Amino acid sequence: MFDFILWLAQRKYILFSEGGLFDFDFTLFVNVFQLLIFIYFLNIIFYKPIGKILDERNSFIASNLKEAEASLLEAQELTILYDKKLVDTRKEAFNLITSSKAEIQQFINDKSEKTISLMNEKLQNSENELAGYSKQMSTALEQKVPLFSEKILVKFF
């Protein structure tokens, strides 16, 4: 049996002799094992923390994006609301200006009518007074006409 193991070892040495492109001996398995351990430690030390940081950053960006979209939607709603209020306010202002103009015009018309009627009344009173004075003067002149005529006649004749 020992001869068989030696024969197998020699045969293995012949089959897996050094200096070829690939050596399939125990060092290959040790190197693969070392590589797997190295990848595992890299994963624990570097990749998981970096992945965690990237996930936190992505969630932070996503939450900020959602907040920005909500703010944008709220701003749009407020803009629409303010536009409606502006239109309503302009309508109210227009109606107020129109009613104020109408009230002012009515006030002016009323005051004009009162002033015109007052002026007509004073004019009528003045005409009546003048007519009265005229009548008094004419009666006074009629009474003095004979006296003046006598004086004129006396002076000319």
- Which pLDDT tens digits describe the chain residue by residue (157 residues)? 556 665 655 555 444 455 555 656 677 778 888 999 999 999 899 889 999 999 999 999 999 999 999 999 999 999 999 999 999 999 999 999 999 999 999 999 999 999 999 999 999 998 888 888 888 888 887 887 788 778 777 877 6
User: How many Cα atoms occupy the beta-carbon half-sphere of 126 within 13 Å?
Assistant: 6
Gyration radius from the chain CA atoms: 63
Q: Per the domain annotation, does 41 fall within a domain? A: yes
Domain that holds residue 102: 28-156
Q: Per the domain annotation, does 115 fall within a domain? A: yes
Report the number of distinct structural domains present in the chain: 1
Please state, in angstroms and rounded to a whole number, the distance separating the CA atoms of residues 30 and 81: 73
Q: Per the domain annotation, does 19 fall within a domain? A: no
Please state, in angstroms and rounded to a whole number, the distance separating the CA atoms of residues 68 and 60: 12
Q: Tokens 């104020």: give the residue.
A: 100
Q: Per the domain annotation, does 5 fall within a domain? A: no
Q: Per the domain annotation, does 2 fall within a domain? A: no
Q: Per the domain annotation, does 128 fall within a domain? A: yes
pTM: 0.45
Q: Per the domain annotation, does 37 fall within a domain? A: yes
Q: Per the domain annotation, does 9 fall within a domain? A: no
